[in-house]
Structure formats: structure tokens, C-alpha cells
Structure 1
């Protein structure tokens, strides 16, 4: 296996360059731009040739800037079988993403609301949370096969995403931690109700 460029020679300097490129990509994301390698290089005052040594393509850059971008699950390696426990773990993870990526997610939300825009166009608005929820709720296929897990995942996502967070913070005037706690409660409550009364 080839050694990554930044791990060969002058490692401290290369680490700083890589960090500058990642920081530049995150800043561009926060402005609503999906950066190319060239965009990040220009913003970080790094040559394009150098930038491509770290990130051979846009996907590699975005995966470094937003580590969850390619993950099919946010659950730990050996997750519990209980869907409520799995959902609890996932909601902690997605709340952390909202907390850490609030500005970028707000920018993506703004872009998706523009006339004639593709709502899933921005890189941070491509439905990954639904897949993560489906993964968390997968045991219901055996324990509660009558539940429509797809609709349940959508119901939970609607009450726990950046849209709910923005409303809670900007309209309801919750502080950010209260908003995140409310979103977590929403998700748990929706699952509890579905298990008791049937899903949406």
C-alpha cells in the first residue's frame, strides 16, 4: 500500500498544509459552496499541484472535511440489537453533527430553498441521515415486521434534523443544547409511539 503523501518527509509542515486545505473546504461549505480541490487550494493559498498531492479529487477533499460523508452507519462496530438503544446512539451522533456543522448545514439548507434549486444538490443535503436511521431501525424488520420502517425513518428525520434545529433556535428561541435535547427526545418519542401504536 502506498504511503500517503503527507506521511512522507517534513511531516509537520505537510500536516499544516493538509489542515489548511481542510479548513478552507469547511469555510467554503459554510458559505454554501461545494468546493473543488482548486477552490480549497486558492482559499488556503496553496498551489493546485500541491493540493492534488493531498486530495486527488473533490470526493477525497469533502470526505476529509466532512468525515461522515461516506459512512453507511454511525453506530459503533458492535452495536446493540435493541432498536431503541441503536436509535439513542444514532441521535447522539447526528446531534453532534448538527452542533459541529451548524453553519455548513444552515448554508446547505438555504441553498436547497432557493427557487428552482435541487433540494438534495448541496453536498450536506443528500439524505444520508435516512440511511443511518434505516440502519439503526433494521432490527424492527424481525421484531416488528408490520411497521413501515421507511416511513418511520422519515418521521424521525423530520423531527430531528437541521430544519427542526433552526426552528427551535431561531423561532422558539431555545438555546442550542436545549434544541438538541428536544430533537433527541422527539426521535425517541416517535419510536416509542410507533412500537406502541404502530408507525405513521
Structure 2
């Protein structure tokens, strides 16, 4: 079932009941992610008391359900409308949005991180490497400016200093407050960008 077919299903018939059913599936997934689970659509449906067939009418796969529960995971960019052309301003906007995402979904992100560190466990759905794409999108003007900078490698370096892993270390090990942790990650990311730009010159 395509996303478009899913939208048509929700827009016809008993729309209020369908909206409640959809929200129940989304709510159950959020709770399970917070508890360190990485369930399938069928597992979410069973816990919600909704038939598997019905659940798949709303969400054809786990990714679709995840995007509904945590909308940012479905985005290829965090720049929003009318993005700036200056690469440093683009990075700052992306950092702001990424940090907002961490604030909003910290329990789920922490649980997913714990799950990913379990020996033999499959990579959780939340650990999909999306943030590297967000940072590469922020750096995209460099690809057309003839800078000679490897934006793919630079995006990985930025993600290494800005994400749930460094955030957890800064909070739990270094003992920083939330705002302080984000300030450190922002400064590190901007320093990396500034050094790359200076080297290109």
C-alpha cells in the first residue's frame, strides 16, 4: 500500500474513528521505543488491540509507522522553508533542529542507543543514519562551489560530535546540564566546519 493510498483510506468513511485508531498505533510505538523495544507493525497492533490487517491499512511497514510517531525521521532535511545559502547558517539551523529532536525524543533515542549496543541485536529502526544525511544537506552548497571539500566525510565528522551519543556522554559522564551539552556539541560542530573551510581556502 502506497503512502497515497494510505491517505485516501484515512480520508474516507469513519474518519474520526480512523484517526483514533491511527493515534493509538502511534502512541503504542512511542511507548515501546521508550522502553527499549523495536517492534514490528504487527507487534504494535497486537499490543494496541488492533487487528494486524487494520494496522497495515494505516502503516504498510515499520518505517511508515516510525515516521508517524517521530516525524523528523522521515525528513531528508532539517532546514525547513526558505533555507539560507550560507553554509555556516545552514549548519546552525540544522544543529538547532537536531537538538530539538533530541530534546523531544530523548527517552526513545536513549533506549534505541542501548539496544544498538546489545551484542547480536539487529540495528534498531531509529539507528538509521539519518542525521548524516541532514548534515550533508546542510553542506550541499559546498558541492557546487568547487570547494574541494569531501562533504560526505565532513558530514560524518559533524555527526560524530552532534547526536545522541555525545549528548549522553556529556550529560551522564561529564555531568553537564542539557543546555551546556548542546552548547558543547554546537561549538565542536562549528569548529569542524570552520577548519574545513579554512583548509579549503
Could you say whether these structures have the same fold, taking a TM-score greater than 0.5 normalized by the shorter chain as the test? yes
- In structure 2, the partner of 1:27 is 31
- In structure 2, the partner of 1:196 is 198
For the aligned residues, what is the CA RMSD?
2.2
4+ long deviations beyond 4 Å: none
Compared CA separation, residues 108 and 197, structure 1 to 2 (3 A)? same
1:39 aligns to 2:43 (yes or no): yes
Compared CA separation, residues 140 and 60, structure 1 to 2 (3 A)? same
> Which SS does the other structure have where 1:91 is aligned?
helix
CA displacement at 1:104 relative to structure 2:
1.5
- In structure 1, the partner of 2:155 is 153
What is the distance in 2 between the residues matched to 1:147 and 1:73? 20
Is the 2:26–2:65 Cα contact (8 Å) retained in structure 1?
yes
CA displacement at 1:57 relative to structure 2:
2.7
Say which of 64, 68, 71 aligns to 2:72: 68
CA displacement at 1:117 relative to structure 2:
4.2
Unpaired stretches in structure 2, ≥5 consecutive residues: none
1:130 aligns to 2:156 (yes or no): no
Aligned length: 197
Q: How does 1:1-200 map to 2 (within 5 A)?
A: 4-117=8-121, 121-143=123-145, 145-197=147-199
Report Cα offsets for 1:131-171 as digits up to 9, x if no partner.
Answer: 11111111122446232322221221111110110011111
TM-score normalised by the chain length of structure 2: 0.86
Unpaired stretches in structure 1, ≥5 consecutive residues: none
What is the distance in 1 between the residues matched to 2:20 and 2:154? 44
What is the distance in 2 between the residues matched to 1:153 and 1:195? 13
